[in-house]
Structures are given as C-alpha cells and as structure tokens.
Amino acid sequence: MTRRPLIIAAAALVAGLALPAAQAQQGTVYRCPGPPVLYTDQLSAQEAKEKGCRTIEGAPITIVQAVRPRPVAASAPASGARSGEGRVDPAEQRSRDSDARRILGEELRREEARLAEMVREFNNGEPERRGDERNYARYQERVAQMRAAIQRKEADLAAIRRELAKLPP
C-alpha cells in the first residue's frame, strides 16, 4: 500500500472524529420562524418543537451583536432654542424669516436685472452678429443658446418667487 492513500484515510478519520466534537461543543442551532427570523442555540428540543423551530445542520452560524446606539448627551441648547425642545423662539424665527426674505429679495432683483440684460442682447431673436460668426449656422447656434439661457433664467426667477411666497409676511 502506498503512503498517499494512508494519509488521505488518516485525514478523513481525524475530520470524522472532530466533526461530532465540534457539533457537541457548539450545540444544536435552531431556526425559528417569525418576522424577525431567529437563530438560537439557547432552546431545549421541546421548546424548539413548540415554537416550530427547525434544526440547522452542517453550517456554522456566526452571531453578531448589534451595536446599540449611544444615548445623546444633553448639551447646551443652541442659540435661540429652548432647552429640551427642538423648537425655536418665535422672535428668533421671525428674525430668520426676515433675513431669508431680504436675501431672496436681493437675489430676485439681481436675477431680474440679469434677465433684462439678456433680453436686451437677444433683441427679439435677432442679436447683433459678432465677427467670429461669418458662418450663419454659428449665429443660429448662439441665438438658440441665448433663447435657452433666457428660459432657464425665467425658471430660476419663478423658483425664487415661489420661495418668497412660502415665507410668512
């Protein structure tokens, strides 16, 4: 007899003996039904049968503990907020609203001025031709780009007006 089959036979024998020992050490693992499927080795055979659990064989189960969220430490309240609540003082909120209204109003005026300039340059679809636009197709491409830019600017203005309308007076 050659050495190779003896080594394989010995390895199989050792593995065969180690498997029951590992299963005995690990215990029987049950898979119990339910919305959160439960895998446990803490049940007796009778308890597992009553709960409708099945045994799992041949696959080791790794159990990972879920990390519990840390409790939020009580910190000093933010400026204008009352302690223990997520609410903002009404005076502080009015101040924020007026700041937002002022900023949006300035942006609206700036964008309206830019739109007026764009419309003036567009000249009802016939802007002045530039020196690099000897080719009529280039000119038409620039006119189309100007038309699209004006439409985007009008959409931006409509969005700013909607934001202003959401703010309390």
Q: List pLDDT tens digits, range 111-153.
A: 999 999 999 999 988 898 888 878 889 889 999 999 999 999 9
Mean pLDDT across the stretch 42-52? 86
Assess if residue 154 is contained within a domain. yes
pTM of the model: 0.47
Instruction: Tell me: pLDDT of 21 over 80.
Output: no
- Report the domain count for the chain: 2
**Shared domain check, 99 and 52:** no
**Shared domain check, 99 and 153:** yes
**Shared domain check, 47 and 96:** no
Kindly indicate the confidence band of residue 103, based on its pLDDT and cuts at 50, 70 and 90: very high
What's the rounded Cα separation, in Å, for the pair 49 and 45? 6
Indicate the residue among 15, 40, 61 that finishes a domain: 61
pLDDT for res 78:
52
**Residue positions counted in the chain:** 169
3 state DSSP class of 31: strand
Range(s) of the domain holding residue 158 = 90-166
Q: Are 27 and 44 in contact (CB under 8 A)?
A: no
Mean pLDDT across the stretch 3-26? 47
Assess if residue 15 is contained within a domain. no
**Shared domain check, 97 and 159:** yes
pLDDT, tens digit, 9 for 90 and up, residues 83-101: 556 788 999 999 999 999 9
Assess if residue 137 is contained within a domain. yes
Assess if residue 79 is contained within a domain. no
Which has more pLDDT, 124 or 76? 124
Q: Exposed (0-12), middle (13-18) or buried (19+): which is 137, by Cβ within 10 Å?
A: exposed
**Shared domain check, 117 and 155:** yes
Assess if residue 44 is contained within a domain. yes
Residue-averaged pLDDT of the chain: 79
**Shared domain check, 154 and 102:** yes
pLDDT for res 73:
65
pLDDT for res 135:
86
With b for 16 or more beta-carbon neighbours within 10 A and e for fewer, the 33-69 pattern comes to: eeeeeeebeebeeeebeeeebeeeeeeeeeeeeeeee
